[in-house]
Amino acid sequence: MFQKILIANRGEIALRIQRACCELGIPTVAVHSTADAEAMHVRLADESVCIGPPAAKDSYLNIPAILSAATITGADAIHPGYGFLSENARFAEMVEAHGLTFIGPSSAHIRMMGDKIEAKTAMASLGVPLVPGSHGAIEDILEAKSLAEKIGYPVLIKATAGGGGRGMKVALNEGGLEDAIRLARTESRAAFGNDAVYMEKYLERPRHIELQIMADAHGNVVHFGERDCSLQRRHQKLLEEAGSPALTAAQRDALGATATAALAKLGYRNAGTLEFLYQDGQFAFIEMNTRLQVEHPVTEMVCGIDLVREQIRIAAGQKLGYTQADVKFSGHAIECRINAEDPDTFMPTPGRVTAFHASGGLGVRVDSALYAGYMVPPFYDSMIAKLIVHAPTRPEAIARMRRAIEEFVVMGIQTTLPLHLRILDDPTFQSGEYTIHWLERFVGAGH
């Protein structure tokens, strides 16, 4: 087992990883920017190192500074969390080149899945179904037109290097195709320094259903069931559920069997998430995330498993020690992402938190690095807390989340808590019959 783990992240996820390390008896090193000197993840770590000024590119993305911090403190492994360097294959390689362990998959798999065309090609060859679309990058407009004609409009132009919902444009008909390609290329070049794009059929009423996988270095692969992340605004998830209200246990088992067989063949290691669109009873793979997900707690709640602990054990070479048959699902879990944003305009609202009270009680979990007096900095992601509930059934989980939101107090800044209450009270949400397009309309309709 590791002697000391450096956590290359901030906020709630840094705390989440610290908690797992603490329970495993492993000391942690926090890294932080100058803007985060007073942050909770720094206060709770055994040691901390300042790695640069506020801008992420100079601190949390500063590979030399992070590797130096690990060397100076004698850490022997690095956990990247999510975001920042978690899906940077070069970083994973450099960590290993410095004789440290990267707590995650191999750099080759990170690179493969980071290129969405490569990921789709690999998954198709392993028997995983895809959304109909181009088999490679779009090179030529005439080719694109004939393909779009074949698969049928609307089509979606997506960035090969895409992430966070950026570099995606819909073309409703042939007249809009050239513009969609040009805009997706421009956005992708600006965001990712790569303008390769591909085409997919734009599905008009899918759900986003993703599967949590864990694989050890000895060929054992299990899945921990699905999460339904269909509630999105601008392709960003806001509220997630486990399990999906749309899926039966038999469908979960079938999807799980296909996915675990594919990843076993690939020789994949550590945590991963396969994302699918689900429509008319069919699953279609869209991408794989080679890291821990923001929404991993809902899976932990229904499986009773600590995914970060599993990641650490596997990175240290330990076996899973259980099989698929040992993984049991119990009840229903919901997560609300609470952002420091105006709940109507979604403008970020950084500033001083004057009072903070986290909800509690049976089946309530709060993953947050907030405290009263904390200054939410303007430099990073606006998510300030995740409120997670677990209950025997979905209606009970919804009632519990309502109660937990009413108890939750953040003063001094506006948050998206009121929006979550509105969602929970909506009959369509309560029916469980929503698609990825529902929230966008709901948010628009409310104002």
Binding mask 198-227 for ligand ADP (x = CB under 6 A): --xxxx--x-x-------------------
Which of 195, 226, 287, 341 lies at the binding interface for ligand ADP (CB under 6 A)?
287
Which one, 28 or 134, has the nearer CB to ligand ADP? 134
The 10 Å Cβ neighbour count of residue 202 is 21
Instruction: Please tell me the distance from the alpha carbon of residue 277 to that of residue 388, in angstroms, as a whole number.
Output: 24
Measured between alpha carbons, how far is 262 from 240 in angstroms, rounded to an integer? 25
Question: Footprint of ligand ADP on residues 2-41 (CB under 6 A)?
Answer: none
Binding to ligand ADP, residues 256-285 (CB under 6 A): 275, 277
Q: What angle do CA 401, 406, 409 make, to 5 degrees?
A: 115
**Strands laid side by side in the 383-391 sheet:** 282-289, 270-279, 207-215, 221-233, 236-242, 332-339, 383-391, 364-368
Q: Where do runs of H (alpha helix) occur along 337-416?
A: 394-407
Of 24-32, 89-97, 163-171, 296-304, the segment contacting ligand ADP by CB under 6 A is 163-171
CB 274 within 8 A of CB 128: yes
286 binds ligand ADP (CB under 6 A): yes
How many CA atoms, within 13 angstroms, populate the side-chain half-sphere of residue 340? 25
Residue numbers 181-200 binding ligand ADP by CB under 6 A: 200
Q: Let me know if 313 is a catalytic residue.
A: no
Considering 16, 291, 313, 337, which one is annotated as catalytic? 291
Least distance CB 287 / ligand ADP (angstroms): 5
Residue 237 vs 313, nearer CB to ligand ADP: 237
CB closer to ligand ADP out of 277 and 314: 277
Residue window 79-108: x/- pattern of binding to ligand ADP, with contact defined by CB under 6 A: ------------------------------
C-beta of residue 29 within 8 angstroms of C-beta of residue 47: yes
Stretch that binds ligand ADP, among 48-56, 162-170, 174-182, 264-272 (CB under 6 A): 162-170
Among the listed residues 162, 176, 243, 343, the single contact to ligand ADP using CB under 6 A: 162
Q: Which is nearer to ligand ADP, 206 or 343 (CB)?
A: 206
Place of tokens 């003063």: 411
C-beta closer to ligand ADP: residue 129 or 163: 163
Site string for ligand ADP, 142-161 (x = CB under 6 A): --------------x-----
Do strands 28-33 and 47-52 pair parallel, antiparallel, or not at all (unpaired)?
parallel
CB 2 within 8 A of CB 316: yes
Q: Using the rule CB under 6 A, which residue among 27, 129, 163, 267 binds ligand ADP?
A: 163
Residue 207: CB minimum distance to ligand ADP, A: 9
Q: Report the alpha-carbon distance of residue 331 to residue 38 in Å, rounded.
A: 38
Site for ligand ADP in 112-131 (CB under 6 A): 131
Beta bridge partners of 278: 207, 283
Alpha carbon distance 260, 105 (integer Å): 15
Q: Which helix (H) or strand (E) holds 158?
A: strand 155-159
Q: Packing angle between helix 107-114 and helix 116-125, nearest 10 degrees?
A: 100
| Nearest approach, Cβ of residue 337 and ligand ADP (Å) | 14
Nearer to ligand ADP, 41 or 158 (CB): 158
Cβ closest to ligand ADP, residue 202 vs residue 224 = 202
Q: Which of 353, 424, 360 is nearest to 389 (CA)?
A: 360
* Under 8 Å between Cβ of 340 and 349: yes
Size of the site for ligand ADP (CB under 6 A): 19
Contact 166/116 with Cβ under 8 angstroms? no
What is the rounded radius of gyration, in angstroms, for the C-alpha atoms of the chain? 21
Residues serving a catalytic function are 291
- Per CB under 6 A, residues contacting ligand ADP are 131, 156, 162-165, 200-203, 206, 208, 232, 235, 275, 277, 286-287, 436
